[in-house]
A and B are shown apart, each in its own frame.
Chain A
Amino acid sequence: MKQRLLYILLGMVLFTACDHDLDLKPFDKLSPENAFNTEKDLQLYANSFYLILPDGSDIVRGDALSDYLVGRTPSNYIYGSFGPTQATGWSWSNLRKVNYFLEHAGQAQIPAEALEHYLGLARFFRAWFYFDKVKQFGDVPWYGKTLDVDDPDLYKPRDPRTLVMDSVLADLDYACAHLRDAKDNSASQVTRWVALAFKSRVCLFEGTFRRYQPQLGLAGTADRWLDEAIAAAEELIQSNKYQLLTSGDADKNYRNLFTNETPNSTEVMLAAVNSKSLRVFNDANWYWTSATYGGRYSFIKKFINTYLKTDGTPFTAQPGYNNIPFVEEVKGRDLRLRQSIRMGDYTRDGVIAPPDFTYTYTGYMPIKLTLDAKATDGVAENYNSLPLIRYAEVLLNYAEAKAERGTFTSADWEATIARLRQRAGITSAPFPTTADTYLQQSYFPGISDPVLLEIRRERGIELCLEGFRYDDLKRWRAGKLLENQYDGMYVPALNTLMDLNEDGRMDVSFVESIPAEKVPGVYYFLIDNVQFRLTGGNSGNLVLFDNLQRKYEDYKYFYPIPYNEIVLNSNLEQNPGWTD
């Protein structure tokens, strides 16, 4: 009995410990073997590509470095010391994401059309990735594969711009050829049409960059890129899938493109979609309506001057245009102005809201991307969707590429710039025949083509704050504009109360010293003659921060490669002009 009982006891212990398999696999994660087999699998992976796109809050910050905004402190790229040790942006995980997909998607046994669509999607995003890199750094190494730890290519030098951009173009051509072409009315997915629009952006950039940055020695190849831009835009325009949004109130339809929760897919082709119910937000109100959280950015007067009058004539054509008080100056202008800054009868939560000098420096306080309700002012909970690609840009791309090629006709003018101006309430938009002197003198001294000047004016106004400006300055070789004097509104006299929106209440007073007796509701703006002064001493245009010397030298067109990367890979050559 003793023996039997022992056997039973031993058996019990050993039986409970029966499973001796030590190869345990995770049960809550996929592995490369089972993640690429069906179309649904590819879709699941492809969703991660959308993380490559900027989100709403990125768009909000897109123009922080631009010639037309002044903020609390200038970007350290143009002010103070900036060098390779401060550089960022040399990150490559998004490329690995795409290349890994391209290497594994073939595992799926699905119809060729479906597979090609997903390959096209991946290549669209690879083009997006490389376009960003090239814009930032110029030459970069091209990798069409994922890298192993011991791959010698980790240490290769940069590839020439031509190789990289040709590869980008090949990716875009593949995407345009294979992406599905059903229009996406949610403006949140990449389709063939989105790829065409993006191609026009990339090719216009590359064509003009090569033309205006002659030190590259690629000016001769610019036309080919401009032609590609024209072709892509033309196909999209002729498809008639998208139009400018012109329905509704002419005072509002432009801004509605930025303040609606649901992107208007009449014009918006791809957006960073935000949603209150899904709690996906951007922080536009907090960024633009806070003294500390955002950069306190405002437009400078030099840019506001470019907005035409509603009759189509330049504001700057009138004598003394710099000495017009704010209230008068903003009247009768391109309707996009009142949809881009606080002025006139602008209200928030039903209360009239003049420019608030707690947040603005110049008086031209942006509202283009923000909501009028105050509810989201102090929190990152803006639910308005912000466009990444919209049809208006395609028209501008088309116009500019054609103008650069010298093939721009008056019919093209009617189909592009004139339409944008019509929407902006400009009653007369004739084909320009004389160069605008203000634009030429203040902005683009090297350009004499009246059409090209007007196209650039239009692009600046139409796309302001949407993150295009610095790229445009680079490709036009107009980086010097970043040294613009920061000027603000005209101040007729010191120590005078001013009503900026004609509501009968005084809003601001520019003073030499803060008075003891203050009028409630008035902001007293101290003219200390260090940070802030007036051009005429006791009156004139506000000038801000001209004690801070900003510098944009030519070498800054190419951002420095981060110091650490050059240490890690001695074959990487630093962009010229940058020293540690």
Chain B
Amino acid sequence: MNMHNCTNMCLRYMLGILLLVLPAVLYGQTQRKVRGLVTNDRGEALIGVNVRVKGGNTGAITGENGRYQLVVPGNDATLVFSFVGFAPQEVPVGNRNIIDIQLQSTARDLEGLVVVGYGTQKKINLTGAVDQVGSEVFENRPLTNVTRGLQGVIPNLNIRMTDGKPTRSADYNVRGTTSIGAGGSALILIDGVPGDPNLVNPNDIASVTVLKDAAAAAIYGARGTFGVILITTKSPAKDKTVVNYTGNFSMNERTIKPKFVTNGYQWAKTFDEAYSSWNDYAAHAQKVNSVFPFSLDYLDELKRRNEDPSLPKVDINPANGEYVYYGNTDWMKELYADFNPSMEHNLSVSGSSRNVGYYLSGRYMSQKGIFRYNPDNFKTYNLRARGSVQAFPWLKIENDLSFTQTDYFYPILNHPNNTPVWRRVSDEAFPIAMLRNPDGTLTQNASIVFGSFISGNNQSELNRIQVRNTSRFRASLFRNKVHLNGDFTFWKLNDVETRIYTPVPYSKQPGVMLERGESKLNENDDKTTYLAANLYAEYEHTYRKHFFKAMAGYNYENSLLKSRYVQRDGIINTALPDFSLTNGLNYTLRGGGNEWRTIGGFFRLNYNYDERYLLEVNGRYDGTSKFPQTQQWGFFPSASAGWRVSREKFWTISPKAVSDVKLRASYGTLGNGNVQPYQFLETMSVNRLARVINGIRPDYTQQPNVIPNGLTWEKATTLNLGTDLAFLDNRLTTTFDWYVRRTKDMFTDGLPLPSVFGATEPKGNYADLETRGWELSIGWRNRSKGRNAFSYDLRLVLSDNQSVITRFNNPLGLINTYYEGMKVGDIWGFVTEGYFKDQHEIDTRGIDQSFIRVSAANKLLPGDIKFMDLDGDSAITEGAGTLADPGDRRVIGNTSPRYQFGLSSNMEWKGFFLSVFFQGVGKRDFWPGTDNSLFWGPYNRPYSWQPVDVVTNMWSEENPDAYFPRLRGYTALNSRAELRVPQTRYLQNVAYIRLKNLSIGYNLPASLISRAGMSNVRVYLTGQNLWTWTPMYRHVKTMDPEVIEGADPELASGAGNGMSYPMLKTYTFGINVTFK
């Protein structure tokens, strides 16, 4: 067996030795000296390793030659070796005087084991594009879910967290646009079985691996087409009992607190100007949006009251007896609390003795929400029980049971479209309006914006429960040459969301109460039952320098979703929202669901010669119920090879300079099985008619969707070239991969048919896409010499990808859809030339700009935007909207995030540690879009928010170089209006860099804590999202650069960009205690 083989073996021998020496612990209690040598797994001396006696207060540090010496109290003492970047080890002393030890480096080390599909592999022998991180990415930071913790840590694992909602998750995208047809994100497996990463306790995770190229993912066939994420949970501790408690307490606040005008008079003046400017200064508003009366008289009165603060802010209109408000309300202050707390407690007990091992853990995390009234409340509970029995020397049986419950309480508006609160606040919460009337009742505007938060009983209650159990066995046969593995997983997921709506009371005149909104209750209940089974065998053989490994297996998965939706109106008692206490005529009861099944047979062959020439072949024969009968089965092969140049005889460069050089290449094709079930069948759904027929709203059905003939799989072919390099004694390591992925036969819209067809054109395998990209990781690790050594590491990950459409049914070359040659994410827009300086310029420019509207009568004035006449026809138009005639538009930017990066560093000195993690995007364009009041303020709707950044930077004769043009309401809203049309000047650069995590901590000295029976106590302070910078902030600092993609998707995603739960900044104090 060669020396680089399985580090497992080393571990096993060591544990054997431990077992042998344990009885010796009973003897001998005299103090004596012990010495030894500490090396790494290559046999090189390690300097500065901390060696101490467990439970005692003596300790030592290895010297320049890796040697140490210390006094132990007796034979039953245990030595603890710890060193940054290496797994700590404990060694009972026994009767030995010399204890030499090899420390194992942690997962990200060059020699480490990497989890791959159905097995593990030494990193040096990898030929595919694989990346792995260990538990450290989840440490010292409270996380509401795993997804948030994985953002930015693995190059080209692209996770976009689009807001700060505690339940927010994201698609796991690997390497950019996958398919514009069926779509598809990475397959996520937890201990080898598909699962929801957000239902895993982050503290239970040992490692996360990403398989990026076709060769690495091929073993998962059609489900792994666009990458595979393997989450491996922690195993029982070896031969000891370890109890660990982690607890932390946090305060959260918004990352961005936009500054809005809150002075009523100032606001109203700008409002009036924005309104009348759109109406060519010929009309003034009669209402501020829908209910708040407005007139120039009112404005005058507001001015008077603003100048004399002793005057009352609320009055009564003698004409109709209704309140008149003259407020200066800071609605954001009313909406949000200053800080919101969260906490996390995690306890794990793990251990093993002889043939039995166990791992038990429990976690509770809660986060109170950001709202001031009836705030949201997130709670999650995790429980895990894992046990294993070595039933016979050849058979190990394991069971892993986990339970997760997540509860999320979320206040909602009583509004028929489920508008997110931010949108209503931007539309109806004017500083001049007020929250409460003098008698304490809510005003009409308050009832529209978030009165439902204050009155209560308008909320969503989400309850998610998961029970999941995996049983597995591993049998070693034929003298350990063959291993047979089997597992069976049962997974039940129950998601219930209840929404309660009760009318909001408010008042417009003293003594008269009114109500707004519906009284109803609805509940959505989704139950998923999932079964999976795997059976696979491995064979391994080494002959001289030839290593051969084969694996073959079988996989079965079945998923059944059953849904139920119930709604009824007429809640009898608002304090008791329950279906038994509703009496409305409108009730809905709907079922639904789907079922799919996959069956696959797979194999993998590995061969290497002297760990110098590496070869791997994978294949999978896959069947899925998601395709029509003739297309259910497919075979998907892949191959990869590696060459470790540094192991060649001719390689004479010292490992101290260049330690390792490996070249890799892989190629493979996978079918895309990431499609929804039943897409290929004619189906006719039954729904409730929106018309009344004979006194009821009956059900109806109608013609089915049209399905095409001859559908087939989408296929993705990936070519990957990579290299792994290590320098300076492995202190500097780099991995670089370049790839091209061609997705063919994407399932997209067919050729546009004449409308007389009468149905949506059936989709078919009509489009191709090519994605090219690369990813780079650079790691550096070092420590100073001497007793108080300072050790640190640095890691940079950087990746990029770009996708181009290579085939699409768009013969006219329309630019409002995909076309051949289009870069995915391209933004077409006009080119802003500047502002019109004066009337003379408007009269004489000679370019007809009437296509773009600046006001109701479309009369240009100085300070309006001048557009460039790109096509020279003396008119600004959109042309025919085709590539041949795009009018005066060109591609002005691209929304795809480019150069995504993560930069992390850990430092340790005398028990203190500091870790820093920056994450960001290097290049990305963003068009603020319509109904984005955060960015446009009064240019959107005249009555919207007025960000200070915007209203202090508007064109005027005195300020002709302002960033924003002449103030005109509705120009960012109405179609074809001056700020509604995408254009160069207001295109935002939303590249960003963010300090995602900063932790400072201290490991209490052993001498202090051992008396309390603890082996390790760590206290830390952590800040998350502490600092962010984006070029967008040069103009407007009202949006978080991550929270720009639509609105809260659980409510109404189309309500405007940025209308979402704010991203949170978190300050944490935490403690981590270990008993051994």
A residues sitting closer than 8 Å to B (CB atoms) are 2, 5-6, 9-10, 12-14, 16-17, 19-32, 35, 44-45, 47-48, 50-51, 53, 55, 90-97, 99-101, 141, 143, 146-147, 149, 154-155, 184, 186, 188-189, 272-275, 277-280, 291, 358, 378, 518, 520-521, 528, 531, 562, 564-565, 567-569, 572
Encode B375-417 as 1/0 by CB contact (under 8 A) with A: 0000000000000000010110000000000000000000000
Kindly name the residue among B556, B599, B692 whose own CB sees the greatest number of chain A CB atoms within 10 A.
B692
- For residue B106, CB closer than 8 A to chain A, the reply is no
Rounded to whole angstroms, the CA-CA distance of A32 and B629 in the bound complex is 18
- For residue B694, CB closer than 8 A to chain A, the reply is yes
- For residue B762, CB closer than 8 A to chain A, the reply is yes
Residues on the B chain within 8 Å of A277, using CB: 584-586
Given contacts A26-B677, A155-B754, 19 further A-B contacts (CB under 8 A): A13-B486, A22-B597, A23-B629, A24-B597, A29-B683, A30-B684, A31-B684, A48-B700, A50-B691, A51-B689, A96-B758, A149-B750, A149-B762, A154-B756, A188-B691, A189-B693, A280-B691, A291-B287, A358-B286
B599 to A20, Cβ gap below 8 A?
Answer: yes
B756 to A12, Cβ gap below 8 A?
Answer: no
Encode B692-713 as 1/0 by CB contact (under 8 A) with A: 1111111111111010100000
A27 to B756, Cβ gap below 8 A?
Answer: no
CB distance from B487 to the nearest CB of A (A): 7
B758 to A9, Cβ gap below 8 A?
Answer: no
B701 to A28, Cβ gap below 8 A?
Answer: no
Residues on the A chain within 8 Å of B291, using CB: 378
Known: A25-B681, A50-B691, A93-B758. A19 touches B597 (CB 8 A): yes
Known: A29-B683, A31-B704, A35-B701. A5 touches B395 (CB 8 A): yes
B319 to A521, Cβ gap below 8 A?
Answer: yes
Which of B23-31, B166-174, B588-596 participates in binding chain A? B588-596
Known: A55-B691, A378-B291, A565-B755. A31 touches B625 (CB 8 A): no
Known: A47-B699, A149-B762. A9 touches B473 (CB 8 A): yes
- For residue B757, CB closer than 8 A to chain A, the reply is yes
By secondary structure, the A interface counts as loop
Rounded to whole angstroms, the CA-CA distance of A24 and B708 in the bound complex is 19
B484 to A6, Cβ gap below 8 A?
Answer: yes
CB distance from A374 to the nearest CB of B (A): 11
A51 to B691, Cβ gap below 8 A?
Answer: yes
Residues on the B chain within 8 Å of A12, using CB: 486, 488
User: Which of A29, A53, A99, A518 is the one whose CB lies under 8 Å from B686?
Assistant: A29
A23 to B625, Cβ gap below 8 A?
Answer: yes
User: Which of B685, B693, B755 is the one whose CB lies under 8 Å from A92?
Assistant: B755
User: Which of B597, B623, B753, B756 is the one whose CB lies under 8 Å from A141?
Assistant: B756
By secondary structure, the B interface counts as loop
B585 to A149, Cβ gap below 8 A?
Answer: no
Rounded to whole angstroms, the CA-CA distance of A83 and B130 in the bound complex is 57
Kindly name the residue among B297, B392, B486 whose own CB sees the greatest number of chain A CB atoms within 10 A.
B486
Rounded to whole angstroms, the CA-CA distance of A155 and B756 in the bound complex is 9
22 contacts between A and B (CB under 8 A): A2-B392, A17-B558, A17-B599, A19-B558, A22-B623, A28-B594, A28-B685, A30-B685, A31-B704, A32-B704, A44-B700, A51-B691, A96-B758, A154-B756, A186-B694, A189-B694, A277-B584, A280-B697, A291-B286, A358-B286, A565-B755, A568-B753
Residues on the A chain within 8 Å of B685, using CB: 28-30
B694 to A147, Cβ gap below 8 A?
Answer: no
A568 to B473, Cβ gap below 8 A?
Answer: no
- For residue B632, CB closer than 8 A to chain A, the reply is yes
Residues on the A chain within 8 Å of B753, using CB: 149, 154, 568
B535 to A518, Cβ gap below 8 A?
Answer: no
- For residue B678, CB closer than 8 A to chain A, the reply is yes
A569 to B689, Cβ gap below 8 A?
Answer: no
CB distance from B1006 to the nearest CB of A (A): 46
Residues on the A chain within 8 Å of B695, using CB: 186, 188
CB distance from A118 to the nearest CB of B (A): 14
Known: A31-B682, A188-B692, A565-B754. A97 touches B703 (CB 8 A): yes
B754 to A568, Cβ gap below 8 A?
Answer: yes
A280 to B692, Cβ gap below 8 A?
Answer: yes
Known: A13-B535, A378-B291. A47 touches B625 (CB 8 A): no
- For residue B533, CB closer than 8 A to chain A, the reply is yes
Known: A2-B392, A17-B556, A45-B702. A26 touches B599 (CB 8 A): no
CB distance from B1074 to the nearest CB of A (A): 36
B599 to A22, Cβ gap below 8 A?
Answer: yes
Encode B592-626 as 1/0 by CB contact (under 8 A) with A: 11111101000000000000000000000001110
Kindly name the residue among A21, A273, A568 whose own CB sees the greatest number of chain B CB atoms within 10 A.
A568
Encode B751-777 as 1/0 by CB contact (under 8 A) with A: 011111111011000000000000000
B319 to A520, Cβ gap below 8 A?
Answer: yes
- For residue B8, CB closer than 8 A to chain A, the reply is no
Residues on the A chain within 8 Å of B759, using CB: 93, 96
Query: Which A-chain residue is minimally distant from B596 (CB atoms)?
Result: A24
Query: Which A-chain residue is minimally distant from B394 (CB atoms)?
Result: A2
User: Which of A6, A17, A26, A48 is the one whose CB lies under 8 Å from B475?
Assistant: A6
Residues on the B chain within 8 Å of A31, using CB: 681-684, 704
Rounded to whole angstroms, the CA-CA distance of A97 and B758 in the bound complex is 8
CB distance from B301 to the nearest CB of A (A): 13
A24 to B531, Cβ gap below 8 A?
Answer: no
Residues on the A chain within 8 Å of B624, using CB: 22
- For residue B290, CB closer than 8 A to chain A, the reply is yes
Residues on the A chain within 8 Å of B596, using CB: 24
- For residue B569, CB closer than 8 A to chain A, the reply is yes
Kindly name the residue among A17, A154, A572 whose own CB sees the greatest number of chain B CB atoms within 10 A.
A17
A90 to B690, Cβ gap below 8 A?
Answer: no
Rounded to whole angstroms, the CA-CA distance of A255 and B689 in the bound complex is 28
A279 to B319, Cβ gap below 8 A?
Answer: no
- For residue B812, CB closer than 8 A to chain A, the reply is yes
CB distance from B284 to the nearest CB of A (A): 10
CB distance from B155 to the nearest CB of A (A): 36
Known: A35-B701, A378-B291. A30 touches B686 (CB 8 A): yes
B702 to A143, Cβ gap below 8 A?
Answer: no
Rounded to whole angstroms, the CA-CA distance of A33 and B762 in the bound complex is 20
Known: A17-B531, A22-B597, A47-B700. A10 touches B486 (CB 8 A): yes
Residues on the A chain within 8 Å of B629, using CB: 22-23
Rounded to whole angstroms, the CA-CA distance of A378 and B448 in the bound complex is 12
User: Which of A6, A30, A53, A154 is the one whose CB lies under 8 Å from B754?
Assistant: A154
User: Which of B394, B594, B684, B812 is the one whose CB lies under 8 Å from A32?
Assistant: B684
A26 to B700, Cβ gap below 8 A?
Answer: no
Rounded to whole angstroms, the CA-CA distance of A569 and B594 in the bound complex is 39
A275 to B755, Cβ gap below 8 A?
Answer: no
Rounded to whole angstroms, the CA-CA distance of A205 and B660 in the bound complex is 88
CB distance from A579 to the nearest CB of B (A): 14
Q: Which 6 A-B pairs give the minimum distances between C-beta atoms?
A: A96-B758, A17-B556, A47-B700, A273-B692, A100-B703, A29-B683
Rounded to whole angstroms, the CA-CA distance of A503 and B386 in the bound complex is 85
Query: Which A-chain residue is minimally distant from B395 (CB atoms)?
Result: A5
B690 to A44, Cβ gap below 8 A?
Answer: no
A16 to B531, Cβ gap below 8 A?
Answer: yes
Rounded to whole angstroms, the CA-CA distance of A6 and B478 in the bound complex is 13
A97 to B754, Cβ gap below 8 A?
Answer: no
A17 to B533, Cβ gap below 8 A?
Answer: yes
CB distance from B696 to the nearest CB of A (A): 8
Rounded to whole angstroms, the CA-CA distance of A23 and B812 in the bound complex is 39
Rounded to whole angstroms, the CA-CA distance of A277 and B585 in the bound complex is 6
Known: A23-B629, A93-B759, A146-B758. A275 touches B692 (CB 8 A): yes
B700 to A45, Cβ gap below 8 A?
Answer: yes
A48 to B701, Cβ gap below 8 A?
Answer: yes
Residues on the A chain within 8 Å of B569, using CB: 279
Residues on the B chain within 8 Å of A569, using CB: 754, 756
CB distance from A299 to the nearest CB of B (A): 22
Known: A22-B623, A154-B757. A35 touches B691 (CB 8 A): no
CB distance from B663 to the nearest CB of A (A): 39
A26 to B678, Cβ gap below 8 A?
Answer: yes
